[in-house]
Amino acid sequence: MTDFNRHRPGQRTGIGMLTASLVLGMLMLTWFFDGMLDRQTNPNSRPTTQMLADGVLELQLQRNRQGHYVISGLINGVPATLLLDTGATDVVIPERLAERANLSPGTAIQAMTANGMVTVYNTRIPELQMGDVRLYDVRASINPAMHGSMVLLGMSALRHIEFSQRGDTLTLRFLPD
């Protein structure tokens, strides 16, 4: 028996360990870069609310890589990514997210969007949450043509908020009713 044949079982183990290490390394790099991309898309994934002396709740948001203000929130306890959109009259929710949040579609109406006319359905959001801020009974529209989980946070919710921008930071102040 040659020396080559005697060491072959150890070589197989070594190759197996090298393969496992490469796969594990690729998984870790994928996880790392996926998290980095998520932070670039939504730098406000864990919003922290501050209570000011006058009872006003304040949130500070950082602009994302595309120049938008995006924040993680909850619609009836269902996680959602909210894009602040002062050009939207209502909060606009993709149909699949509305179903998961148990929102009932109401009257069908035609709405003008950036993509043209679409049919949307009126609804009400019993509870919309961003950090410690909770808004109740918010007017919204369900848009079957929207895909993904991005929600347009329109003026039906933003009317309860005073906001100011300085640089890449948007400060939201929720005034007590």
Element (H, E) at 164: strand 161-166
pTM over 0.95: no
Residues 36 and 109 in one domain: no
Cβ(91)–Cβ(153) below 8 Å: yes
Residues 17 and 36 in one domain: yes
Q: What is the DSSP string of 65-131?
A: TTS-BEEEEEETTEEEEEEE-TT-SSEEEEHHHHHHTTPPP--EEEEEETTEEEEEEEEEEEEEEET
Residues 168 and 99 in one domain: yes
Residues 6+ apart with CB under 8 A from 106: 121, 122, 123
Residues 54 and 6 in one domain: no
* Structural domain count, the chain: 2
Tokens 């801020």 belong to residue: 133
- Range of the structural domain that residue 133 is part of: 49-174
**CATH code for the domain in which residue 71 is found:** 2.40.70.10
Residues 82 and 158 in one domain: yes
Residues 68 and 84 in one domain: yes
Pairing of strands 150-153, 78-84: parallel
Q: Among 141, 73, 146, which residue's Cα sits nearest to residue 104?
A: 141
Give per-residue pLDDT as tens, 91-148. 999 999 999 999 999 999 998 877 788 999 999 999 999 988 899 999 999 999 888 8
Tell me what percent of the residues of the chain surpass a pLDDT of 70.
Answer: 83
Residues 55 and 104 in one domain: yes
Give per-residue pLDDT as tens, 36-55. 444 446 878 877 778 888 88
110, β-bridge pairs: 119
Residues 87 and 20 in one domain: no
